[in-house]
Chain A
């Protein structure tokens, strides 16, 4: 649009787009949300299909993995077992049944534990979410904080120190760090509690959310909360170190890039106080790349929990997934795949929505 100075120019902006928004009577952000949610539902369906197909395509016979040598020799027993688990039906029919079950909250029955997979997941998923959630929270606070500090003190001592710290965080393998932390803090110094989620002598708080710390608070049990938080600290820090390092480096470069933008100089020329410029002008722009990386980092954090859970005997989904995969417990494997896929989906949805909240150019598209 090339406006002349005559003042007869049409209203600036996207005329038809605005008119459509008014006709539907919806706030642009609301329409943006609805669009993203619909996409998410479609993707969730895609995840069920992919987990189902992949799980059934793996070379490996669940029959062989679950029945003993003698039973395998008897065709009648094998056929009966296959029929019991619906493995004799055509694949598409198995999928239809699987999907129908999912819609009713039925994830099938684990061939190993003989319990409903949904029940297993309800037990193990919250433990992992608590650990991963605490780790991402710590990473965000420390990583973004360190990154901003490093950018503002560019080329000074604190910047160099933080660079070393983030390099260490990115380079140290998580399993090694977990072992060392366990050895040093628990075995040698005895300042952190050992394995598990909570002191077994205390029992646990009545499960509401499944997150031990939150449940303890809800029950008003400070002793359980202290124990749960104590158990959470070391695995959280071990798990978070990589993400802290990653976010520190990313935030530093994102903030430095924004600091060089014209609009930051323009904000200085307006005489705005430094903290307003930092929070309103610099961080707002820098957040876009930061939340992108944070969303991806959450994914790698989830896979990192498998190792950390094993070393700290944390009863989470990582351990469950490992056990199910090695025994070819297909319903359990599909259940884990579905949960992990949906967690990714939710993270991506949150990241997308945050883009829209932060950047008007995204939600006004």
Chain B
């Protein structure tokens, strides 16, 4: 078990946002986390990295290699962030700093966490850009985010997340802001990296089509609770919970069946 979340509760301003979430992520597996907006799936992802909004209180346990991330002192938590648990955000147009070069954003945390020199970090950054299939990696290194398309930016964001060889990757709606035509490519890339690097991936999405494309396990959340969890085929084909069934029924065109990746309307 790479990452184990048990009984995670989060309250914000007197409201319970998470009411006892249990999730288990394993090496080399993609765990999909589905649910409608407001069900708490994004909060679950943020809680792992201690990035909850100001004033939020979290209890329970988030275990990574025997340590509880919720009680880690800030300095230690900062080593885990980016170093062992990395995150890819929904919209690469806003999650990359528009005034810092791609190279800068790729290397700064490598140099900080891994203590690499400028040249080493640069070499690794170019290698990473190649790995996420950015054409002309050498040239891309010196460019700025606005000079890339949305799909390319999300690939860069993924490269940044992978730079320090984390064990866990949290991808929060990584394809929602992208054109349908490039969604499939980014998802394939995520799946491939998960297999190749033995990453434990938490894929947060409201899109069951995305889920059925690459998830190994699927958990469904509603009102701050996980209502159903299991292997993809089981959850998506024979949903045990009424809420999962209603989510599946809401998919256009294919009643009860999983849609093709990126095939949502």
Binding site for B on A (CB under 8 A): 1-7, 9-14, 261-263, 265-273, 276, 280-281, 284-285, 358-361, 364
Q: Are B182 and A4 in contact (CB under 8 A)?
A: yes
| Candidates B101, B139, B185; contact of A5 at CB < 8 Å | B185
Q: Are B95 and A13 in contact (CB under 8 A)?
A: no
Query: In the complex, what's the smallest C-beta–C-beta distance from A258 to chain B, in angstroms?
Result: 10
- Of all chain B residues, the one with the shortest Cβ separation from A10 is B135
Q: Are B101 and A263 in contact (CB under 8 A)?
A: no
Q: Are A272 and B143 in contact (CB under 8 A)?
A: no
| Candidates A266, A268, A271, A364; contact of B147 at CB < 8 Å | A364
Q: Are A263 and B148 in contact (CB under 8 A)?
A: no
* In the complex, chain B residues whose CB is within 8 Å of the CB of A13: 143, 147-148
**Interface-located stretch among B29-37, B83-91, B222-230, B244-252:** B83-91
| Complexed CA–CA distance, A269 and B168 (Å) | 12
- Of all chain A residues, the one with the shortest Cβ separation from B140 is A12
A2-B181, A11-B135 known; A269+B149 contact, CB < 8 A: no
The 8 closest A-B pairs by CB, nearest first: A5-B185, A271-B81, A271-B82, A13-B147, A262-B94, A270-B82, A270-B109, A269-B87
B51 CB-CB contact with A under 8 Å: yes
* In the complex, chain B residues whose CB is within 8 Å of the CB of A11: 135-136, 139
Q: Mark B79-110, 1 if CB is under 8 A from A, else 0.
A: 11111001101010011111111000000110
Q: Are B94 and A261 in contact (CB under 8 A)?
A: yes
Q: Are A269 and B82 in contact (CB under 8 A)?
A: yes
| Candidates A266, A271, A285; contact of B89 at CB < 8 Å | A266
- Of all chain A residues, the one with the shortest Cβ separation from B160 is A270
| Complexed CA–CA distance, A78 and B169 (Å) | 88
| A2, A261, A266 interface centre (most CB from chain B within 10 Å) | A266
Q: Are A271 and B151 in contact (CB under 8 A)?
A: no
| Complexed CA–CA distance, A269 and B80 (Å) | 9
| Complexed CA–CA distance, A267 and B109 (Å) | 9
Q: Mark B104-144, 1 if CB is under 8 A from A, else 0.
A: 00001100110000000000000000000111100110011
B179 CB-CB contact with A under 8 Å: yes
* In the complex, chain A residues whose CB is within 8 Å of the CB of B135: 7, 9-12
* 19 pairs of residues in contact across A and B, judged by CB atoms under 8 Å: A5-B188, A11-B139, A12-B149, A13-B148, A262-B94, A263-B95, A265-B51, A266-B89, A270-B109, A271-B79, A271-B112, A271-B113, A272-B82, A273-B78, A280-B100, A280-B108, A360-B101, A360-B144, A361-B144
Q: Mark B171-187, 1 if CB is under 8 A from A, else 0.
A: 00000000101101110
* In the complex, chain A residues whose CB is within 8 Å of the CB of B133: 5, 7
| Candidates A4, A14, A265, A268; contact of B181 at CB < 8 Å | A4
Q: Are A272 and B189 in contact (CB under 8 A)?
A: no
Q: Are A4 and B109 in contact (CB under 8 A)?
A: no
| Complexed CA–CA distance, A276 and B151 (Å) | 28
A265-B51, A270-B160 known; A2+B149 contact, CB < 8 A: yes
* In the complex, chain B residues whose CB is within 8 Å of the CB of A360: 98-99, 101, 144, 146
| A262, A267, A271 interface centre (most CB from chain B within 10 Å) | A271
* In the complex, chain A residues whose CB is within 8 Å of the CB of B139: 11
B152 CB-CB contact with A under 8 Å: yes
B49 CB-CB contact with A under 8 Å: yes
A266-B96, A272-B108, A272-B109 known; A1+B147 contact, CB < 8 A: no
Query: In the complex, what's the smallest C-beta–C-beta distance from A83 to chain B, in angstroms?
Result: 60
Q: Are A12 and B94 in contact (CB under 8 A)?
A: no
| B99, B181, B185 interface centre (most CB from chain A within 10 Å) | B99
* In the complex, chain A residues whose CB is within 8 Å of the CB of B89: 262, 265-266, 269
Q: Are A273 and B112 in contact (CB under 8 A)?
A: yes
A5-B189, A11-B136, A361-B144 known; A271+B152 contact, CB < 8 A: no
Q: Are B86 and A269 in contact (CB under 8 A)?
A: yes
- Of all chain B residues, the one with the shortest Cβ separation from A1 is B149
- Of all chain A residues, the one with the shortest Cβ separation from B144 is A360
A3-B151, A284-B99 known; A269+B49 contact, CB < 8 A: yes
| Complexed CA–CA distance, A281 and B97 (Å) | 7
* In the complex, chain B residues whose CB is within 8 Å of the CB of A281: 97, 100
Query: In the complex, what's the smallest C-beta–C-beta distance from A15 to chain B, in angstroms?
Result: 10
A2-B179, A5-B185, A265-B89 known; A361+B98 contact, CB < 8 A: yes
| Complexed CA–CA distance, A285 and B99 (Å) | 8
| Complexed CA–CA distance, A1 and B146 (Å) | 12
A2-B182, A5-B133, A271-B112 known; A266+B149 contact, CB < 8 A: no
* In the complex, chain A residues whose CB is within 8 Å of the CB of B86: 269-270
